[in-house]
Amino acid sequence: MITVAICGCGSRGLFAYASLSRIYPEKMKVVAGADIRPERLQMLQEMYGVPADMCFASDVDLLAQPKLADAMIISTQDRQHVGEAIRALELGYDLICEKPISPELSECLRLQDKVHETGRHVVIGHVLRYTPFYQTVKEIITEGKLGTIRTIDATENVGYYHFAHSFVRGNWRSAEETSPMILAKCCHDMDYIRWLADSPCVSLASFGGLSTFSAEHAPAGAGRFCMADCPDEVRARCPYDAEKIYLTGVHGFDRTGDAWPQNVVVSEPTREKLVQALQDGPYGRCVYHCDNDVFDHQTVLMQFENGIKATFTTSAFSQNIYRTIKITGTEGELTGNLEEDQILLRRFGEADQLYDLSAKKSEFKGHGGGDAGLANAFVTLVEEGGEGLTSVDASVESHAMALAAHESALAKGRTILLKDYIEAHRN
């Protein structure tokens, strides 16, 4: 069993990797943590039995202590990770560090250097590699069932309500405050595409933009806060209406109770607390009148050293949240949908083969089983050593791909050579 401290007890800190300790108490025990919100420290005590004197009021306070656990989970916001991770490595912790490492490539490279210098185990939160779905795709490729791979086409469909919640009203709405959307949401996709291609990305180009969630697209007469001052006839036609999303719609409190995204709007949600928070709080705002700037759709074209070509498209505009993949090879093609947990393998001239993975993830809920899968693999890595499924080097490369894609899109699709791009950011 390994002991862990949690730096940042938000949604990810309390509910993602640490939940392994509740599924398998013999593998992981949470012994300390930090957050600037007292109510989150209270939850840390209640959920994981962490004693009050091991709960700290900030990252700085936690990292001023001597080493308190075998490992640390870094799950504060995007721009805080590198400083905390470097200090934690100096104290001798192994780390799970949330993605993105940092929105600045130079900072990612700084952490990479520190990891090599200290030799500690560091796993970045690229959870999709650890899902039965992508592991099976990888196995099919590695076993040669598709022949030589020629193309990979992947999509990430963010879901209209998820996009409005996280990328228009919420934490990831501003590239300056957190990260560009292609990094915040899609560095996972860059990571598994690079992993499946099994070759460095040589060059890429990208197009994207913020097409919809800005004042010029507001319906005539729209208010500033849906429930406080937007006319009923405008709200009736608006799928992004905060009352529908958080209270009455398919994912709202009346149907799903206090689950996500309600538990981001207020801690331990009740209907009354939500109604109050939506009157004039950030999540009650009109989606056309927020202070957001991140792209709501983007596409990336990539070329890998071994000749594989890949495309990736992400969009806010989907009913459900889901990812798809299509891979073509010289002997077959594969299509799959992560949320349906099904992969169809069609070897040319042979009978189709359907892989139904839905049974495999029943005990591991977050990210198709990836959250607990990553935590489980991390425990093995800390206890037994070895290579692990991923490395900081691979994670930094996928961050570079995402950041280069953002830069390319800002430059209207300019092609970027990855090697040069990375070197230009090395201090």
Ligand X SMILES: NC(=O)c1ccc[n+]([C@@H]2O[C@H](COP(=O)([O-])OP(=O)(O)OC[C@H]3O[C@@H](n4cnc5c(N)ncnc54)[C@H](O)[C@@H]3O)[C@@H](O)[C@H]2O)c1
What is the smallest separation between the CB atom of 395 and ligand X, expressed in angstroms? 11
Nearer of residues 11 and 318 to ligand X, judged by Cβ: 11
Nearest-CA neighbor of 417 among 272, 205, 267, 130?
A: 205
Nearer of residues 43 and 327 to ligand X, judged by Cβ: 43
What is the smallest separation between the CB atom of 177 and ligand X, expressed in angstroms? 11
Nearer of residues 264 and 417 to ligand X, judged by Cβ: 264
SS3 label, residue 355 = strand
CA distance 209 to 294: 8
Q: Which residues here bind ligand X, judged by CB under 6 A?
A: 8-13, 34-37, 40, 58-59, 75-78, 98-99, 125, 127, 171, 184, 367
What is the smallest separation between the CB atom of 410 and ligand X, expressed in angstroms? 21
Cα distances (angstroms) measured from residue 309 to each of 92, 194, 240, 306, 327 = 41, 11, 36, 9, 10
Write the CB contacts of 52 (distance below 8 Å, at least 6 apart in sequence): 45
Nearer of residues 171 and 174 to ligand X, judged by Cβ: 171
Q: In angstroms, how far is the first alpha carbon of the chain from the final one?
A: 39
What is the smallest separation between the CB atom of 184 and ligand X, expressed in angstroms? 6
Helices (H), 238-296: 242-243, 253-256, 262-265, 271-280
Nearer of residues 190 and 416 to ligand X, judged by Cβ: 190
Nearer of residues 23 and 202 to ligand X, judged by Cβ: 23
What is the smallest separation between the CB atom of 135 and ligand X, expressed in angstroms? 16
The DSSP string of 296-313 is SEEEEEEEETTS-EEEEE
CA distance 42 to 334: 47
Tell me the Cα Rg of the chain: 22
Nearer of residues 125 and 269 to ligand X, judged by Cβ: 125
What is the smallest separation between the CB atom of 392 and ligand X, expressed in angstroms? 15
The DSSP string of 118-166 is H---EEE--GGGGSHHHHHHHHHHHTTTT-SEEEEEEEEE--HHHHIII
β strands within 211-367, DSSP E: 297-304, 309-315, 322-329, 332-337, 342-347, 353-356
What is the smallest separation between the CB atom of 11 and ligand X, expressed in angstroms? 4
Nearer of residues 265 and 334 to ligand X, judged by Cβ: 265
